[in-house]
Amino acid sequence: MSDNKTHADWRDKLHEIIYEADTPAGKLFDVVLLIAILASIILVMLESIKSFDDKYHTFLNISEWIITILFSIEYIARIITVKKPFKYIFSFYGIIDLLSTIPKYISLFLAGTHALVALRALRLLRVFRILKLARYLGASNQLASAIKASRAKIAVFLFAVLIASVIFGTIMYLVEGEEHGFTNIPKSVYWCIVTLTTVGFGDIAPETPLGQFIATIIMILGYGIIAVPTGIVSAEYTKAGGDDKKKTSNTDSEQLKNIQLNTQCCVNCLTETHHDNAEFCFKCGCKLHHD
Amino acid sequence: MSDNKTHADWRDKLHEIIYEADTPAGKLFDVVLLIAILASIILVMLESIKSFDDKYHTFLNISEWIITILFSIEYIARIITVKKPFKYIFSFYGIIDLLSTIPKYISLFLAGTHALVALRALRLLRVFRILKLARYLGASNQLASAIKASRAKIAVFLFAVLIASVIFGTIMYLVEGEEHGFTNIPKSVYWCIVTLTTVGFGDIAPETPLGQFIATIIMILGYGIIAVPTGIVSAEYTKAGGDDKKKTSNTDSEQLKNIQLNTQCCVNCLTETHHDNAEFCFKCGCKLHHD
Amino acid sequence: MSDNKTHADWRDKLHEIIYEADTPAGKLFDVVLLIAILASIILVMLESIKSFDDKYHTFLNISEWIITILFSIEYIARIITVKKPFKYIFSFYGIIDLLSTIPKYISLFLAGTHALVALRALRLLRVFRILKLARYLGASNQLASAIKASRAKIAVFLFAVLIASVIFGTIMYLVEGEEHGFTNIPKSVYWCIVTLTTVGFGDIAPETPLGQFIATIIMILGYGIIAVPTGIVSAEYTKAGGDDKKKTSNTDSEQLKNIQLNTQCCVNCLTETHHDNAEFCFKCGCKLHHD
Amino acid sequence: MSDNKTHADWRDKLHEIIYEADTPAGKLFDVVLLIAILASIILVMLESIKSFDDKYHTFLNISEWIITILFSIEYIARIITVKKPFKYIFSFYGIIDLLSTIPKYISLFLAGTHALVALRALRLLRVFRILKLARYLGASNQLASAIKASRAKIAVFLFAVLIASVIFGTIMYLVEGEEHGFTNIPKSVYWCIVTLTTVGFGDIAPETPLGQFIATIIMILGYGIIAVPTGIVSAEYTKAGGDDKKKTSNTDSEQLKNIQLNTQCCVNCLTETHHDNAEFCFKCGCKLHHD
């Protein structure tokens, strides 16, 4: 505990604001960050529209610099408020934060790299973090656990889809040939996935009767096997709901779920999803800071 | 109760006819309204077909005026039979009724606004109200409650789809570039949603091998994640059915459902879905009128 | 019973062969009929391929006449073996049998009506009747009952889809206009259904940014609401399975299902799905004939 | 048992390595085989890309010969380590192994048959065998049993889809005719399946109002009936999960599943999925070899 006490107070405060969402200041920070991210995405989008960029180039450029500098400040603040900065820097979000901030600086020195500013769109992933709000917490946790439980089955399924695509793609390449757009096997496999997933762009389409017959089989196969992942997730989900009910048969399960987890984030190891009444991080034992 | 007695008798009668569907007159009114709405939609459709409009312009115009005047009368009748007219005027259906009636009058003074007559299609939404018939009442209530229960989860899901679209759309813009139709990021994102939802228009299609590879990932992702909302609704629906069964284990649950709700509509606050044996509105306490 | 006795024996025999599938002769008749139907479909298909028809016109024509005469004999046999011939003639299958046999005769007198021979494809519907075989009987009954139970809900759902299509179609007509392929409202509605059902032909595609934005909403809507019918059928199906299990908890439910129904068909009123140990038709009380 | 003892020891060893995955050597063999198969697929793909083949033809050719020889050795080894070689040779995987090895040899004598090398893609099916790893075993078994249980229902469903396609395809041929791309009935049926499965290439699209109206019905039908197989698999899957739970209510069902089956393969009849503690093959009674 003495280890925690020596940690500067303003750093703790800043940590709570930046990493957590339980205090009013923390919530405000998250909302501002959310708006900044959305604004930066819209800027990148507008800039990519040539007619718009020609008109408002200066405005867009200045706005981008403001956003870039704000993100840079946030990046530095995140580093200095964590005890083990490298843990953050090399974490998933740390790398995304860097990748979405640095291209603008690079574009000063290297011409032609400006398009990379679009990498900023990756920042949208942080939205998942920001949405650690009470209401959606339970919903997304349930979703995540249903997907997690059916992970192995979905992997087997996707594997089967890929293998079917390669085999059918190769057959279509042999049947249709280059003259009908199936110029090589990878392209045939691409077409096969387009068909199997029922997307059907139509940029390539079979023209020989045999090719159309095989396409028919692929389509019906694709139409039928969509039932498999749906069935899996659905069953897993029903089961998860059932298990939940059994475990919490004596208490209000909904309320329980909301109590269980909060948005606190350990100052030492950045672990999240602590229990609401937790005093210490369950990963590193470091004390958690309440208001 | 004295408050209700003072309300003119013919108004009460009219209210019952217009807003409810329990009396023969009320049912007849609903059927006539349904036919009028469908007729008005068909008129708008026929008018938009140029070759048809050229031939029968006068007939279409007169028919439209008849429908418009009928709808105007209905609008006024709805206002005068409700105790708090503004409650209706600013309600969802009140605004739609106005929006679908007024363009025809405006087109008299302002040329070029005629196309807005098509807004009348919004009136179709009223069909949901008219279908307050015994049989579909239970079905649509069950549907609505299943969707309501899975609202938060579907919001999380749609959010994830949108974020994935923005990120993949940006990547595709960087990979494919303007020469292959991905002229700007919003268009790339549009293409990405077209692909992720397995619609696949084919107006834009990736042409570089890397672009096709990423498209493959997007398609399989889209094909896989369709399982998520399906699983949610399915589980929620099964659960809802299960809960229903438990609650009504001693009685015939089907019969119960049909008894529970009728099409009465409070004269004061327009609240609906009253119990069949209800004497007073459960929202404002105002007396309900039976035949 | 005397009423049944007077019925000629050879007619009873023929009735059993044609309408039922419990005797070896009945099964053979069904298999031959199935093959004849498939052959007639293949003939019609081959005839529609011009290059093939040019080569083998005489062969195709003779084969068609053979099939047509066989079907005519079957049609007459069906009429004379039933006690109330008009019941068969005006039944669903009676009309289809006539429609699929008569165009060939008409084409003798009226030129240009030959294409109507393709109506013979409707005969495929009879396959559902022929497949009254033990194995698929249970499966299709379960399917049918699941669909039947969710009929009202699916109607509500389809209704919602249609209304959404009309409203969005009208909006797209206003937004995109004639110059981008949305030439009139019915075509816009057609495009909207193409998009909402995630088919996405791409023969018409939005080109204005606003149109593409609305298209995005339609697609995500379509992608999301597919979950609704799936959830309904899935839940209904699970429930049906559960109910079955409860009712037959003491006996082997699979075996029970196979016992319950056979392919007997009443000689008087053509009612089907009689219990295996039934002696009399449950509809008209007429005696059933066992071997 | 004496029958088994006389079997050469090195053969038993080799059998264990090639056919099973319980020993380190067996696992290594499977991993090497997996890599070899993937490498051979990638080689075939690269060779089909003309620009790539022109540059690296010699390298690709030599690599293919190496892979072909390796597969030939494996094929021979598989034959000599099994007691009844013809059982393997005429088994599903035996034929695939031959088909994927022999085209390269044939291409030496017969020019133009080189494209058949692509048949090697069929080898990917063996991946399903190799993935007999603990983790995915349970998942794929559960998947397979869910699909197996709903086999009859899915057959009925696919049958209905096919019949609907033929009937609607014929109608569309009559309605749209040759001038709009519906040149013959098979092509119309192909288009109908493309539409019903919501793939929607758009290479053919209805152009007459009536054709578009029928297309609308087909699309909504296709959109609606996708719910059927999903519901079936989902319900079957939920039921399978429920049955499992009941049977293993006292023990950890997950652990049980992993114990039940291993990757041993009978030396005599190639039967698989033996229980972990099995001493003899449950099919032919031949002794199983543990380390």
Integer Cα distance of A12 and A15 in angstroms: 5
Chains in contact with B, where contact means 3 or more Cβ–Cβ distances below 8 Å, are A, C, D
Per-residue CA distances from A30 to A26, A102, A130, A132, A268 (Å): 6, 22, 6, 10, 20
Between residues B14 and B261, the one the model is more confident about: B14
Integer Cα distance of C226 and D198 in angstroms: 12
Instruction: Tell me the per-residue pLDDT of C125-171, one tens digit each, with 9 for 90 and over.
Output: 777 666 654 455 555 666 677 767 777 777 777 777 888 898 899 88
Q: Do D234 and C234 touch (CB under 8 A)?
A: yes
Sign for the pseudo-dihedral over CA of D102, D107, D110, D112: positive
Sign for the pseudo-dihedral over CA of B263, B269, B271, B277: negative
Taking Cα atoms as reference points, which of D68, D239, D214 lies closest to residue D142? Answer: D239
pLDDT of residue B163: 84
Interface test with B, best of A184, A234, A244 (most B CBs within 10 A): A234
pLDDT of residue B245: 45
How many helices (H) and strands (E) in chain D?
Answer: 13, 0
Chain D contact for B224 (CB, 8 A cutoff): no
In chain A, list all ranges with CATH 1.10.287.70.
149-247
Facing residue for C153 by CB, picked from B142, B202, B232: B142
| Average pLDDT score over chain D | 76
Query: What kind and span of H or E run contains C228?
Result: helix C227-247
Integer Cα distance of B28 and B18 in angstroms: 10
Instruction: Tell me the per-residue pLDDT of B135-160, one tens digit each, with 9 for 90 and over.
Output: 555 556 666 776 677 777 777 777 77
pLDDT of residue D192: 93
Question: pLDDT tier at B256 (50, 70, 90 boundaries)?
Answer: very low
pLDDT of residue D252: 39
Burial (CB count within 10 angstroms: exposed 0-12, middle 13-18, buried 19+), residue A136 = middle
Query: What average pLDDT does the segment D268-283 reach?
Result: 63
The gap from C-alpha D211 to its chain's centroid, in whole angstroms, comes to 39
Q: Cβ–Cβ contacts within 10 Å for residue D14, how many?
A: 17
Integer Cα distance of C191 and A211 in angstroms: 28
Taking Cα atoms as reference points, which of C111, C115, C96, C102 lies closest to residue C45? Answer: C115
Question: How close is the nearest chain B Cα to the Cα of A54, in Å?
Answer: 13
Chain D contact for B234 (CB, 8 A cutoff): yes
Give the gyration radius of chain B's Cα atoms: 25
Q: Let me know how long chain A is.
A: 291
Integer Cα distance of C88 and C92 in angstroms: 8
Burial (CB count within 10 angstroms: exposed 0-12, middle 13-18, buried 19+), residue D234 = buried
How would you write the pLDDT of chain A (291 residues) with one tens digit per residue? 444 455 567 777 888 777 776 778 888 888 888 888 888 888 888 888 888 888 998 998 899 899 999 999 999 988 888 888 888 888 888 888 888 888 888 888 877 676 777 778 888 877 766 665 445 555 566 667 766 777 777 777 777 788 889 889 988 988 888 888 898 889 999 999 999 988 888 888 998 989 999 999 999 888 877 777 777 777 777 666 554 444 433 333 444 344 445 556 666 666 665 655 566 666 666 666 554
Facing residue for A152 by CB, picked from D127, D139, D238: D139
- Residue D150 sits at φ, ψ, to 5 deg, of -100, 15
Query: What average pLDDT does the segment B162-176 reach?
Result: 88
Integer Cα distance of D130 and D124 in angstroms: 10
Between residues C122 and C252, the one the model is more confident about: C122
Give the range with max mean pLDDT: A72-86, D114-128, D221-235: A72-86
Contact C261, C275 (CB under 8 A): yes
Chain B contact for A203 (CB, 8 A cutoff): yes
Q: Could you tell me which residues come within 8 angstroms of residue C263 by beta carbon, excluding any fewer than 6 positions away?
A: C20, C21, C22, C26, C132, C133, C272
Residue B49's region, left for phi above 0, alpha for psi from -120 to 50, else beta, is beta
Q: Do A231 and D226 touch (CB under 8 A)?
A: no
pLDDT of residue B218: 92
Chains in contact with C, where contact means 3 or more Cβ–Cβ distances below 8 Å, are A, B, D
Taking Cα atoms as reference points, which of B214, B162, B228 lies closest to residue B190? Answer: B162
Interface test with B, best of C158, C172, C180, C184 (most B CBs within 10 A): C184
Facing residue for B194 by CB, picked from C159, C173, C200: C200
- Residue B270 sits at φ, ψ, to 5 deg, of 65, 15
Question: pLDDT tier at D28 (50, 70, 90 boundaries)?
Answer: confident
pLDDT of residue B252: 39
Is the pLDDT score of C6 beyond 80?
A: no
Chain C contact for B117 (CB, 8 A cutoff): no
Instruction: Tell me the per-residue pLDDT of B78-97, one tens digit each, with 9 for 90 and over.
Output: 888 888 888 888 888 888 88
Amino acid occupying residue B33: L
Instruction: Tell me the per-residue pLDDT of A43-61, one tens digit each, with 9 for 90 and over.
Output: 888 888 888 888 998 998 8
Query: What average pLDDT does the segment D228-247 reach?
Result: 63
- Token pair belonging to C191: 């495009």
Query: What average pLDDT does the segment B5-14 reach?
Result: 69
Integer Cα distance of D132 and D232 in angstroms: 27
Q: Could you tell me which residues come within 8 angstroms of residue B19 by beta carbon, excluding any fewer than 6 positions away?
A: B26, B78, B81, B265, B267, B270
The gap from C-alpha C151 to its chain's centroid, in whole angstroms, comes to 17
Sign for the pseudo-dihedral over CA of A215, A216, A222, A228: negative
Q: Do B219 and A138 touch (CB under 8 A)?
A: no
Count CA atoms closer than 13 A to C285's CA, side-chain side: 3
How wide is the angle at C-alpha C63 spanned by C-alphas C57 and C69, nearest 5°?
135
Integer Cα distance of D26 and D265 in angstroms: 12
Chain B contact for A60 (CB, 8 A cutoff): no
| DSSP helix/strand/coil, C280 | strand
Q: Residues of D with CB below 8 A from B199's CB? A: 200
In total, the C-beta contacts within 8 angstroms joining chain A to chain C are: 9
CATH class in words for A2-132:
mainly alpha
| Average pLDDT score over chain C | 76
Instruction: Tell me the per-residue pLDDT of A77-108, one tens digit each, with 9 for 90 and over.
Output: 888 888 888 888 888 888 888 888 888 888 88
Count CA atoms closer than 13 A to D4's CA, side-chain side: 18
Integer Cα distance of D161 and A220 in angstroms: 9
Write out the DSSP string of chain A: -HHHHTS-HHHHHHHHHHH--SSHHHHHHHHHHHHHHHHHHHHHHHHHSHHHHHHHHHHHHHHHHHHHHHHHHHHHHHHHHSSSHHHHHTSHHHHHHHHHHHHHHHHHHSTT-GGGGGGGGGGGGHHHHHT--HHHHHHHHHHHHHHHHTHHHHHHHHHHHHHHHHHHHHHHHHHH-GGGT--SHHHHHHHHHHHHTT----SS---SHHHHHHHHHHHHHHHHHTHHHHHHHHHHHHHHHHHHHHHTTTS-HHHHHHHH------TTT------TT--B-TTT-PBPPP-
Is the pLDDT score of C243 beyond 80?
A: no
pLDDT of residue A222: 85
Integer Cα distance of B234 and A234 in angstroms: 6
Q: Residues of A with CB below 8 A from C234's CB? A: 234
ipTM over the 0.95 cut-off: no
Facing residue for B234 by CB, picked from C199, C213, C231: C231
Integer Cα distance of C230 and B231 in angstroms: 9
Q: Do A49 and B184 touch (CB under 8 A)?
A: yes
Per-residue CA distances from B159 to A125, C13, C246 (Å): 11, 66, 41
The gap from C-alpha D272 to its chain's centroid, in whole angstroms, comes to 17
Q: Do D201 and B202 touch (CB under 8 A)?
A: yes
Question: pLDDT tier at D240 (50, 70, 90 boundaries)?
Answer: low
In total, the C-beta contacts within 8 angstroms joining chain A to chain D are: 138
The reported pTM is 0.80
Taking Cα atoms as reference points, which of D184, D163, A220 lies closest to residue C38? Answer: D163
Contact C188, C172 (CB under 8 A): yes
Contact C199, D222 (CB under 8 A): yes
In chain A, list all ranges with CATH 1.20.120.350.
2-132
Does domain B149-247 correspond to CATH entry 1.10.580.10?
no
Instruction: Tell me the per-residue pLDDT of D53-99, one tens digit each, with 9 for 90 and over.
Output: 889 989 988 998 999 999 999 999 888 888 888 888 888 888 888 88
Query: What are C27-32's contacts with CB under 8 Å, separation 24+?
Result: C30/C130
Q: Do A198 and C201 touch (CB under 8 A)?
A: no
Integer Cα distance of A284 and D85 in angstroms: 60
Query: What average pLDDT does the segment D193-222 reach?
Result: 90
pLDDT of residue A218: 92
| DSSP helix/strand/coil, C275 | coil
Strand partners, A287: A280
Of chain D residues 173-192, which have a CB less than 8 A from chain A? 186-187, 190
Instruction: Tell me the per-residue pLDDT of C65-106, one tens digit each, with 9 for 90 and over.
Output: 999 999 999 999 888 888 888 888 888 888 888 888 888 888
Amino acid occupying residue A189: V
| DSSP helix/strand/coil, C51 | helix
pLDDT of residue A134: 45
Closest residue in C to D217 (Cα) is: C193
Chain C contact for B113 (CB, 8 A cutoff): no
Integer Cα distance of D223 and D214 in angstroms: 14
Integer Cα distance of A158 and A229 in angstroms: 9
Q: Do A186 and D45 touch (CB under 8 A)?
A: yes
Burial (CB count within 10 angstroms: exposed 0-12, middle 13-18, buried 19+), residue A70 = middle
Integer Cα distance of A239 and B179 in angstroms: 49
Chain C contact for D25 (CB, 8 A cutoff): no
Q: Do B198 and D202 touch (CB under 8 A)?
A: no
Q: Cβ–Cβ contacts within 10 Å for residue B1, how many?
A: 8
Is the pLDDT score of C40 beyond 80?
A: yes
Q: Let me know how long chain D is.
A: 291
